[in-house]
Amino acid sequence: MFLPKKHRAALVKEFGKPLVIEEIPTPEPRDEQVLIKVLGAGICHTDVHVWRGDWSAAKIPPKLPFILSHEVVGTIVAKGDRVPDDLKEGRSVLVYAWQWARDDLYTIKGLTQLSNYPTHLAITVDGGLQEYFLVSNYRFLVDAEGLDDLPAAAPLACAGLTTYRAVKKVLPYLEPDDYVAVVGLGGLGSYAIQWVRVLAPYVNLIGVAGRDESIEFASKITKLDATVNTSKVDPVKAIMEISRGKGLKAVIDTAGTEATITTYINLLTKMGIYILVGMIGAEARISPLLPFVVNERILTGSIVGSLSEQIEVVNAARRNMINYRAVISRRLKLEEATEALEALEKRRALGRQIVVL
């Protein structure tokens, strides 16, 4: 297959400044590496933090220029000589983003997202906002054949995966007619409501957000039993009314702010579970503590998902268990990627925005 010597990439050259489109050398895959032609790359809120340099003190990103996007789908165009024969050129793949450099106890247990040697795309190594992307090892490729809209499938690598793991973690606690709230109806929330609907169809699903546009967008993807616009009503009062005084068996918090935690944790039922998803941007305190203890409430975190969960997510999308296309609000060109970051930063984005290459 013909491979160009150079390809276009969107580079973070200065924190918070527009991405710069430049030609960079196209690497030749060796050993277990695979080169893919990128078809779609999703823009996540984590990309905004990396772009602005919010975590630069922690050496994230490790260098500039840096390439964003950990949600990458493409087709195989070249491979190293130690890649198995059945991974052929032309095969559609989703790149598992939460990679690791060497095995440890966690990867051996299958908890690959908890590796002590992470090489996470667009956080510690370059991501997929470029025409060709070198995957460090063929083991990180998930078969995406059979998905009919490949660019739209890219966010399954983060937003889709993260919410799948979170919803699976709350499933053992859920009983018929329980009330479950998904707090935040952006990229993560748009998937979370779908997973709750499909994996726990017997619960009452409440969507919570601060903007009518987000609630409308989410309601078109999945039927919500009730919605709460926190900018218009007192969410505590509204949720107690909706749940007829029962409270929430589970809260899936995709916002993770001080306000959301302190508000919704006190709405949990006995043995209720609060799950914090993704990056928490604030300090928060559980107060009062006594109801938390005597009601045996559970507070836990969830970070992305394992490689095996990633395979489950792509298989679920292939079976149309979830509508991954409906989550996509905007399809941008590489030159327009900065617009997606700005929309997220200014809280104007709906669902997920992708760059189509």
Footprint of Zn ion (CB under 5 A)? 44, 46, 158
- How many other C-beta atoms can be found within 10 angstroms of the C-beta atom of residue 284? 15
* Cβ proximity to Zn ion, 46 vs 260, nearer residue: 46
Residue type, 116: N
Nearest to 97 by CA among 145, 162, 35: 162
46: which 2 tokens?
């984590």
Q: How far is CA 323 from the centre of its chain?
A: 15
- How many other C-beta atoms can be found within 10 angstroms of the C-beta atom of residue 7? 19
17: which 2 tokens?
């400044």
- Shortest Å distance, C-beta 125 to Zn ion: 14
The CB-nearest residue to Zn ion is: 44
* Cβ proximity to Zn ion, 46 vs 137, nearer residue: 46
* Cβ proximity to Zn ion, 9 vs 44, nearer residue: 44
Nearest to 209 by CA among 255, 246, 247: 255
- Shortest Å distance, C-beta 296 to Zn ion: 32
* Cβ proximity to Zn ion, 134 vs 157, nearer residue: 157
Residue type, 14: E
Measured CA to CA, the distance from residue 79 to residue 1 in angstroms comes to 11
Contacts of 22 (CB under 8 A, 6+ apart): 8, 9, 11, 65
* Cβ proximity to Zn ion, 121 vs 322, nearer residue: 121
Cβ atoms of 18 and 335 within 8 Å: the answer is: no
- Shortest Å distance, C-beta 236 to Zn ion: 30
- Shortest Å distance, C-beta 290 to Zn ion: 36
* Cβ proximity to Zn ion, 94 vs 158, nearer residue: 158
- Shortest Å distance, C-beta 31 to Zn ion: 28
- Shortest Å distance, C-beta 352 to Zn ion: 10
